[in-house]
Amino acid sequence: MRSFIFQYITMKGKRLTREFFNRPTLKIARELLGKFLIRKIRRKIITAMITETEAYCGSNDLASHASRGRTPRTEVMFGPPGYAYVYLVYGMYHCLNVVAEKENYPAAVLIRGVIIVQNLKCKIQNPNPKFKNLQLLTPYHKLFTNLNGPGKLCRYFQIDRRLNKEDLIISKNLWLEDRGVKVKPNHIRSSSRIGVDYAGPYKNKPWRFFLDI
């Protein structure tokens, strides 16, 4: 068991730039761990630290929607980096991706899990290492809520296709920030991606990354 988190979050985050996303997708997927996803819905702000991602890399990646070529749905993946790719899966859940790499190279990082951190004045820590999954239900755990799974995440963040093609570099509704959390390499785990058994030689690529907390 690791004790990942005992770290201060800076109050004022630095927004991630276009350049951040104009880099190799696997690198971005790793580095998004510990970064913050922020959603503004009218006056309400939801702040969360990213704990799980998946990389979808280029036209050759048979797990990626872009492997079937350019379609109205996947078009945004072929565009410039830093935009949101939001789509509906299984008829009932939305998934949030951030477009990566240079224009005309279709790639994206799927945001799969976060920890909600509403009160940014606190320091975050793993309140009870016995709960690997941080299912935080007791008052002691009030400050943290683990949100695992891209579908649940989007439901909580009220993200649907209206946010497809949103420019996350300048958007006032949804964006990403660096708040100074330093993630050590030995806190990052990887595995094959979820739900892509059909992807042939790509189904076992270790392109899912998550924080071991």
Partner DNA sequence: GATAAGATCATCT
Partner DNA sequence: GATGATCTTATCA
Q: How far is the CB of 123 from DNA (least distance, A)?
A: 28
Rounded to whole angstroms, the maximal C-alpha distance in the chain is: 49
Query: Residues 42, 43, 90, 182: which binds DNA (CB under 7 A)?
Result: 90
Measured CA to CA, the distance from residue 211 to residue 49 in angstroms comes to: 11
Q: How far is the CB of 59 from DNA (least distance, A)?
A: 11
| Cα-based distances in Å from 164 to 73, 126, 137 | 10, 33, 32
Which range, of 4-12, 25-33, 44-52, 90-98, touches DNA by CB under 7 A? Answer: 90-98
163 neighbors 23 (Cβ within 8 angstroms): no
Which range, of 6-14, 24-32, 34-42, 87-95, touches DNA by CB under 7 A? Answer: 87-95
Query: Residues 33, 193, 207, 211: which binds DNA (CB under 7 A)?
Result: 193
Strand 107-117 to strand 93-99: parallel, antiparallel, or no bridges (unpaired)?
Answer: antiparallel
Q: How many CB atoms lie within 10 A of CB 19?
A: 10
Strand 174-178 to strand 124-125: parallel, antiparallel, or no bridges (unpaired)?
Answer: unpaired
51 SS3 class: strand
96 neighbors 154 (Cβ within 8 angstroms): yes
Task: Check residue 30 for interaction with DNA (CB under 7 A).
Answer: no
Q: Which of residues 152-171 bind DNA (CB under 7 A)?
A: 152-153, 161
Query: Residues 93, 141, 160, 180: which binds DNA (CB under 7 A)?
Result: 93
Task: Check residue 76 for interaction with DNA (CB under 7 A).
Answer: no
Sole residue written with tokens 């004022």: 12
Task: Check residue 72 for interaction with DNA (CB under 7 A).
Answer: yes
Sole residue written with tokens 């927004």: 15
Query: Residues 41, 89, 122, 170: which binds DNA (CB under 7 A)?
Result: 89
Task: Check residue 58 for interaction with DNA (CB under 7 A).
Answer: no
Give the interface with DNA as residue ranges (CB under 7 A): 54, 56, 63-66, 68, 71-74, 77, 85, 87-93, 95, 97, 108, 110, 148-153, 161, 193-196, 198
